[in-house]
């Protein structure tokens, strides 16, 4: 039995510690807002938070974050001032197109802004490098992060 | 570099101490009879390992490399203030404490980029040798501490168990450490 | 209010048997007579598409809570069409935008056909707004008239005295008012007006303004419904082991190791390969990894990319099919004062949408139900009915949001839908099957933008006029063997292979275009902007070379070839103005222009690049677009921004290559889409227009590569003709 603390709740499941966190979230806990994009930590569609750090759930194994001490947060549980500012900016600027990568983009942006409240374009580019958007919404992702930063200032 | 070995050291403290003691004994004994020429010959073996992609890829100035072809790390990740990346792009975003058989991301304890002072990329054999024994650049390590580090550190050891899709360091780890000891015993000789 | 299907029978598209031994589906049915896309769109903007159903009962659900839900006949893959169509409806309905919602219509082509591809229910070819703009406004106007009629009857006042504003129906004189929800049950029982009056453009409140996207909230909170998120009771996840070379087939397999993996339930053979079924995705991944399959590769593609290019080069030297003969190209070329002779090579490209292909199929005794990001519902219905032996009306498709497509989800042979049907059949429909492709399956799975090789010989006279243009195109036909063949292929010439060349807006009096149809088992497919994805690059870089050869400014040279075409000229001129075309750039920087007409839309782009050694960065793109009425200008802008982000990676690095028939790329590491740090600054300027709306999903792609190539030339004096563009 493995215990995962997800969105503030301890969840028990009978899975191998080698199972990628992504599939535990999606297939066991039915938290489908976290997406599968590449399975190789190349695209960031599966980004969730572990103790506030953005991690690629396709690549982090259940065993790495098990035990209930590490707090896992998915898009469904994203909350707080920074998360609200990011999501609000995303909606105001209509960042999304197909939307598939955007849970991951938003989770990464929250971590970025939590560490750096006034990021430059370069900070955004380097900090968000791991999140691919095939629709090419990057112009608006940059704008939305700046806007969220401004609203938090 | 001390901070780098701490987590491992805590876990394996008894073994580590024992190794250190043994090392000191054997090093003193060996020093008497190991020549500079022996040291230099051993260095060549040591350096062949240090320049292997498994070691060199993360001893980089700012951006790690990856793979046996030593390409720039995809996705691009930069050192950041602590050698652990920036923003939502940290080493721990993707790397576990062990290799991940599903995503194929390599993993070892405290996976991160070596400090900037320990950049090995683009160094000549002599420069690499001088860097390695320079306490100002090697994490304040004595030659003996270097041996300890390379004999025990989890991240170093990963080079010998690199997982599917990448070549592990071909020289057996024990042999590497033996060469390292000879290099140290003979006075850490560096090529001209 | 309920959706009514009374008196409307379902379409039976089946015309001939199509299922071949390999279960590759071809020639399912024939759509339309030969009318190339460009002509279709042109015809549409001149006279408008055929009138569609305007019964609000078909397209709208008005709830007691006053929400107005559009049943979208079009698939939403990010292009914003659901927002666009809802805007057209809401405009004429005088609805409150905050009350607009969208759901996908069921697969009923009789009701929800694309009027540009009648009678089929399909999304594609950048036709959606073009074909539905009038229809959706009529739906809104009809609904408005019916709501007014219901209010008039209820209040016993003349309908002419009733006004509607932001979802409120009002009779000023009596002071009475009602919301839509209260009137809808009565209104929708009224007869649909024979004729509706549409607003004059000057009265528009929503069209041409920025209305927030309908899908932003669900897509920023993890609630949006994609096929990958569907969970059905007892559902099994299936992954298919496919032949490592295109055209290979499975001879035998050993599932012993796979079945030992915890969670693996069953392993079955289907025509496309061997399917592993498991209780969850991870088990399916691991089960497939250890599956042993013996393949027959005797009929498979076994060449390498270099060999294919060499073959294409050889073909370009022989006589091809005449795709265009205008004037005397050879004589014109012969009398030129200066000539250029250029060869271009384009690689296979994968679409690589973020959501890998997947869908859920549930079989029942009386039919089947599919949950899928279904772009061509008519095709998917047909494929399922054929494989499963049901009538089309026994197939129910729940269309879901698509996590990108770029053409891949609109496969005319429904490759992955056929796979899921075969798997469900192989297990006798015992459990719902969720077929999931991994990213590797997607990158290696074929249906690529076809490779192409162009050779152009063109010349200018001493006055700088183009005297002759001889053009060879070698590529594999996309449309041949698909249900759309009749609509696109004439006497062997697939219009999509030469579009953007044979219909160039530039006045070139002596022009000959030859097409050479290459053969290969590598399946190909339309990739955002189809043929224009390569032809625009050829046309627009040759245009620059000719301008320089003639000693003319590239902008002025183009304008000189567009006499009598005010819309094209306006786009180019605005691009010159907004980009600061005449302003000098510092050393190491270059600026390049490209202009292209596709899907009825005119787009010019000016690229600015910086070059350092062999590396270059695209710094800025100024885009000008004329797509007729921009129904939602912010969505138009987003599509141009997105097209740049999408296409840039094919300029920088993307290519699918074969090594002895095996695809060399695997995942986003070696087929890496554009990253945020590579995204240039983008400015989009939309020409104000009263013309009918034309395409916007695709036309932003074609001008990007040539604009960058021309900018690189301006910076370095070096012409790179092969894509991806590499300065070595």
**C9 has a chain B CB within 8 A of its CB:** no
* Same-domain check for residues A47 and A62: yes
Query: What pLDDT is stored for residue B26 in this prediction?
Result: 52
* Same-domain check for residues A57 and A92: no
Residue C234 has pLDDT above 60, yes or no: yes
| Domain, as residue range, for C75 | 37-219
What are C145-189's pLDDT values in tens digits?
Answer: 999 999 999 999 999 999 999 999 999 999 999 999 999 999 999
Domain with C660 in it: what CATH number? Answer: 3.30.365.10
3-state class (DSSP) for residue C685:
strand
> Among C209, C228, C44, C68, which residue's Cα sits nearest to residue C131?
C44
Domain termination site, one of A77, A104, A122: A77
What are A89-135's pLDDT values in tens digits?
Answer: 999 999 999 999 999 999 999 999 999 999 999 999 999 999 999 99
Which residues in chain B have their CB less than 8 angstroms from residue C278's CB? none
* Same-domain check for residues A113 and A66: no
Q: Of all residues in chain A, what percent carry a pLDDT higher than 70?
A: 100
* Same-domain check for residues C495 and C364: no
Which residues in chain C have their CB less than 8 angstroms from residue B64's CB? none
Mutate to test the interface with A, among B87, B92, B109, B165 (most CBs of A within 10 A): B87
Query: What pLDDT is stored for residue B28 in this prediction?
Result: 52
* Same-domain check for residues C422 and C463: no
Find, in chain B, the residue whose alpha carbon is nearest to that of A65. B96
Residue C702 has pLDDT above 50, yes or no: yes
Q: Classify each residue of A48-87 as buried b or exposed e, where b means 16 or more C-beta atoms within 10 Å of its C-beta.
A: bbbeebbbbbbbbbbbbbbeeebbbbbbbbbeeebbebbb
Residues of B with CB under 8 A from a CB of C: 74-76, 102
Residue C533 has pLDDT above 90, yes or no: yes
Q: How far is A76 from chain B (nearest CA, A)?
A: 18
* Same-domain check for residues A65 and A126: no
* Same-domain check for residues C422 and C535: no
CB distance A14 to A2 below 8 Å: yes
* Same-domain check for residues A133 and A73: no
Structure tokens at C593: 């222009």
Query: What pLDDT is stored for residue C484 in this prediction?
Result: 82
* Same-domain check for residues C461 and C593: yes
ipTM above 0.90, yes or no: yes
Q: How far is B115 from chain C (nearest CA, A)?
A: 25
- Name residues 184-243 of chain C within 8 A of A (Cβ): 212-213, 215-224, 226, 228-229, 231, 237
* Same-domain check for residues A111 and A85: yes
* In a domain? residue C28: no
Distance CA C319, CA C520 (A): 19
Residue C485 has pLDDT above 90, yes or no: no
- Name residues 395-424 of chain C within 8 A of A (Cβ): 401-406
Distance CA C218, CA C210 (A): 19
- Name residues 66-95 of chain B within 8 A of A (Cβ): 74-78, 86-90, 92-95
Give the distance between the most distant pair of CA atoms in chain C. 83
CB distance C639 to C700 below 8 Å: yes
* Same-domain check for residues C130 and C242: no
C675 and B76 in contact by Cβ < 8 A?
yes
| Domain, as residue range, for A85 | 81-152
Q: Of all residues in chain C, what percent carry a pLDDT higher than 90?
A: 90
**C282 has a chain B CB within 8 A of its CB:** yes
* Same-domain check for residues C292 and C362: yes
A59 and B94 in contact by Cβ < 8 A?
yes
* Same-domain check for residues A91 and A132: yes
Give Cα B177 distance to the centre of its chain. Answer: 11
- Name residues 48-77 of chain A within 8 A of B (Cβ): 53-56, 58-61, 64
Distance CA C129, CA C627 (A): 10
Query: What pLDDT is stored for residue B32 in this prediction?
Result: 60
Distance CA C698, CA C712 (A): 24
B102 and C285 in contact by Cβ < 8 A?
yes
Average pLDDT over chain C reads 92
What are C81-137's pLDDT values in tens digits?
Answer: 999 999 999 999 999 999 999 999 999 999 999 999 888 999 999 999 999 999 999
Question: In total, how many domains does chain C have?
Answer: 3
**B100 has a chain A CB within 8 A of its CB:** yes
* Mean pLDDT to the nearest integer, C678-691: 98
Distance CA C116, CA C124 (A): 10
CB distance A114 to A52 below 8 Å: yes
* Mean pLDDT to the nearest integer, C339-367: 97
Domain termination site, one of A27, A49, A77: A77
Which H or E run includes C683? strand C681-686
* In a domain? residue C27: no
Place of tokens 């694309």: C114
* In a domain? residue C559: yes
What are C491-519's pLDDT values in tens digits?
Answer: 999 999 999 999 999 999 999 999 999 99
Q: How many CB pairs under 8 A join A and B?
A: 91
Residue C40: band (very low, low, confident or very high) from pLDDT cuts 50, 70, 90: very low
* Same-domain check for residues C286 and C309: no
Residue C487: band (very low, low, confident or very high) from pLDDT cuts 50, 70, 90: confident
Query: What pLDDT is stored for residue C47 in this prediction?
Result: 47
B74 and C672 in contact by Cβ < 8 A?
yes
Distance CA C506, CA C544 (A): 13
* Same-domain check for residues A67 and A97: no
Structure tokens at A90: 């995303």
What are C555-574's pLDDT values in tens digits?
Answer: 999 999 999 999 999 999 99
Question: In total, how many domains does chain A have?
Answer: 2
* In a domain? residue C485: yes
* Same-domain check for residues C294 and C309: no
* Same-domain check for residues C345 and C379: no
* Same-domain check for residues C614 and C485: yes
Which residues in chain B have their CB less than 8 angstroms from residue C669's CB? 74
* Same-domain check for residues A48 and A97: no
Domain termination site, one of A45, A77, A109: A77
Q: Classify each residue of C82-119 as buried b or exposed e, where b means 16 or more C-beta atoms within 10 Å of its C-beta.
A: bbbbbbbbbbbbbbbbebbebebbbbbbebbbbbbbee
Query: What pLDDT is stored for residue B25 in this prediction?
Result: 47
Which residues in chain A have their CB less than 8 angstroms from residue C671's CB? none
Query: What pLDDT is stored for residue C43 in this prediction?
Result: 44
* Mean pLDDT to the nearest integer, C291-316: 97
* Same-domain check for residues A10 and A70: yes
Which residues in chain C have their CB less than 8 angstroms from residue B74's CB? 668-669, 672
Question: Quick one: CA dihedral B116, B121, B127, B133, positive or negative?
Answer: positive
Query: What pLDDT is stored for residue B3 in this prediction?
Result: 39
Distance CA C502, CA C367 (A): 46
Find, in chain A, the residue whose alpha carbon is nearest to that of C227. A32
Sorted by where each begins, the domain ranges of chain B are: 40-185
Q: Is B161 exposed, middle or buried (0-12, 13-18, 19+ CB in 10 A)?
A: middle
Average pLDDT across each block of 10 residues of chain B; the chain has 192 residues. List them in order: 39 46 49 86 97 97 96 96 93 96 96 95 97 95 96 97 95 98 97 94
Distance CA C669, CA C241 (A): 21
Domain with A39 in it: what CATH number? Answer: 3.10.20.30
* Same-domain check for residues C102 and C157: yes
Which residues in chain B have their CB less than 8 angstroms from residue C439's CB? none
Distance CA C84, CA C650 (A): 28
Residue C45 has pLDDT above 60, yes or no: no
* Same-domain check for residues A141 and A87: yes
First and final CA of chain B: distance in angstroms? 27
Distance CA B95, CA B163 (A): 13
Residue C538 CB coordination number (10 Å): 24
Q: Give φ, ψ of C237 to 5 degrees.
A: -95, 130
Residue C18 has pLDDT above 70, yes or no: no
* Same-domain check for residues C285 and C391: yes
Domain with A148 in it: what CATH number? Answer: 1.10.150.120
* Mean pLDDT to the nearest integer, C213-241: 98
Structure tokens at B11: 């876990």
């Amino acid at each position: 039995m493995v215990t995962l603390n997800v969105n503030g709740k301890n969840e028990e499941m009978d899975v191998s510690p080698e199972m990628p966190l992504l599939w535990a979230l999606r297939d066991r806990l039915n938290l489908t807002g976290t997406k599968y994009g590449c399975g190789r930590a190349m695209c960031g569609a599966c980004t969730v938070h572990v103790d506030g750090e953005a991690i690629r759930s396709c690549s982090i194994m259940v065993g790495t974050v098990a035990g209930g001490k590490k707090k896992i947060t998915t898009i469904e549980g994203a909350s707080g001032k920074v998360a609200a500012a990011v999501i609000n900016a995303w909606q105001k600027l209509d960042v999304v197109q197909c939307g598939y990568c955007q849970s991951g983009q938003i989770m990464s942006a929250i971590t970025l802004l939590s560490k750096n409240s006034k990021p430059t374009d370069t900070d955004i580019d380097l900090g968000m490098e791991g999140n691919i958007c095939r629709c090419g919404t990057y112009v608006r992702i940059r704008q939305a992060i700046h806007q969220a930063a401004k609203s938090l200032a | 570099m001390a901070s780098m070995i701490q987590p491992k050291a805590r876990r394996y403290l008894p073994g580590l101490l024992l190794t250190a003691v043994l090392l000191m004994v054997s090093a003193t004994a060996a020093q008497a009879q190991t020549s500079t020429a022996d040291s230099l010959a051993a260095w060549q073996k040591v350096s062949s390992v240090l320049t292997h992609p498994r070691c060199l890829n993360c001893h980089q100035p700012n951006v790690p490399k990856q793979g046996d072809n030593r390409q720039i790390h995809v996705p691009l990740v930069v050192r950041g203030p602590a050698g652990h990346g920036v923003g939502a792009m940290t080493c721990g975003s993707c790397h576990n404490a062990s290799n991940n058989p599903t995503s194929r991301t390599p993993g070892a304890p405290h996976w991160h980029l070596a400090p900037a002072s320990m950049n090995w990329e683009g160094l000549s054999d002599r420069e690499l040798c001088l860097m390695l024994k320079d306490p100002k650049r090697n994490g304040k390590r004595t030659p003996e501490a270097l041996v300890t580090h390379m004999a025990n550190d989890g991240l170093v050891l990963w080079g010998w168990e690199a997982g599917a899709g990448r070549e592990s360091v071909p020289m057996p780890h024990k042999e590497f450490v033996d060469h390292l000891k000879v290099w140290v015993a003979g006075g850490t000789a560096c090529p001209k | 209010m309920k959706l009514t299907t009374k008196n409307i029978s379902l379409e039976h598209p089946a015309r001939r048997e199509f299922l071949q031994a390999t279960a590759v589906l071809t020639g399912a049915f024939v759509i339309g007579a030969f009318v190339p896309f460009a002509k279709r769109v042109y015809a549409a903007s001149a006279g408008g598409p055929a009138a569609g159903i305007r019964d609000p009962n078909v397209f709208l659900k008005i709830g007691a809570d006053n929400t107005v839900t559009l049943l979208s006949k079009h698939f939403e893959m990010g292009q914003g069409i659901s927002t666009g169509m809802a805007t057209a409806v809401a405009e004429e309905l005088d609805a409150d935008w905050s009350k607009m919602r969208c759901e996908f219509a069921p697969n009923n082509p009789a009701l929800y056909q694309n009027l540009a591809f009648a009678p089929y229910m399909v999304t594609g070819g950048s036709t959606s707004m073009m074909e539905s703009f009038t229809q959706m406004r009529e739906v809104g106007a009809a609904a408005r008239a019916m709501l007014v009629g219901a209010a008039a009857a209820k209040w016993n006042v003349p309908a002419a005295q009733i006004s509607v504003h932001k979802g409120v129906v009002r009779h000023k004189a009596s002071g009475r008012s009602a919301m839509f929800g209260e009137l809808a049950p009565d209104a929708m029982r009224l007869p649909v007006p024979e004729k509706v009056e549409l607003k004059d453009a000057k009265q528009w409140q929503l069209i041409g303004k920025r209305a927030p996207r309908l899908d932003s909230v669900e897509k920023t909170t993890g609630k949006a419904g994609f096929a990958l998120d569907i969970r059905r009771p007892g559902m099994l996840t299936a992954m298919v082991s496919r032949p490592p070379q295109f055209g290979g087939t499975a001879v035998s397999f050993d599932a012993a190791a796979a079945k030992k993996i915890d969670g693996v339930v069953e392993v079955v053979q289907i025509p496309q390969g061997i399917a592993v079924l498991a209780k969850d995705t991870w088990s399916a991944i691991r089960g497939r990894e250890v599956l042993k399959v013996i393949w027959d590769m005797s009929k498979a593609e076994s060449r390498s990319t270099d060999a294919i290019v060499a073959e294409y080069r050889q073909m370009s030297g022989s006589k091809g099919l005449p795709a265009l003969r205008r004037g005397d190209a050879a004589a014109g070329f012969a009398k030129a004062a200066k000539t250029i002779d250029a060869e271009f090579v384009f690689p296979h490209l994968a679409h690589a949408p973020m959501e890998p292909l997947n869908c859920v199929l549930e079989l029942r005794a009386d039919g089947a139900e599919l949950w899928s990001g279904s772009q061509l519902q008519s095709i998917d219905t047909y494929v399922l009915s054929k494989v499963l032996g049901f009538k089309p009306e026994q197939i129910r498709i729940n269309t879901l949001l698509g996590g990108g497509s770029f053409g891949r989800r609109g496969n005319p042979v429904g490759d992955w839908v056929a796979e899921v049907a075969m798997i469900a059949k192989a297990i006798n429909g015992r459990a719902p099957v969720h077929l999931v492709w991994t990213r590797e399956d997607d990158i290696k799975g074929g249906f690529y933008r076809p490779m192409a090789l162009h050779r152009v010989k063109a010349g200018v006279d001493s006055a700088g006029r183009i005297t002759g243009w001889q053009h060879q195109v070698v590529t594999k036909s996309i449309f041949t063997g698909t249900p759309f063949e009749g609509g696109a292929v004439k006497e062997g010439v697939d219009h999509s292979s030469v579009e953007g060349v044979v219909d160039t807006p530039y006045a070139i009096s002596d022009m000959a275009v030859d097409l050479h149809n290459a053969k290969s088992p590598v399946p190909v497919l339309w990739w955002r902007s189809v043929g224009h994805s390569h032809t625009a690059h050829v046309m627009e870089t040759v245009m620059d070379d000719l301008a320089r050869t003639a000693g003319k400014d590239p902008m002025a040279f183009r304008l000189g070839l567009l006499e009598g075409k005010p819309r094209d000229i306006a786009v180019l001129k605005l691009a010159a103005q907004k980009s600061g075309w005449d302003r000098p750039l510092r050393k190491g920087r270059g600026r390049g222009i490209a202009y292209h007409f596709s899907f009825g839309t005119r787009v010019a782009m000016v690229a600015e690049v910086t070059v350092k050694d062999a590396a270059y960065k695209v710094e800025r793109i100024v885009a000008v677009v004329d797509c007729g009425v921009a129904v939602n200008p912010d969505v138009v802008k987003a599509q141009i921004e997105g097209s740049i982000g999408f296409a840039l990676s094919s300029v920088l690095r993307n290519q699918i290559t074969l090594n002895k028939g095996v695809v060399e790329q695997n995942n986003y590491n070696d087929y890496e889409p554009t990253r945020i740090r590579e995204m240039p600054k983008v400015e989009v300027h939309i020409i104000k227009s009263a013309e009918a709306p034309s395409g916007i999903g695709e036309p932003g792609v074609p001008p990007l590569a040539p604009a960058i190539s021309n900018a690189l030339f301006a910076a370095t004096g070096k012409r790179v003709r092969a894509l991806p563009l590499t300065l070595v």
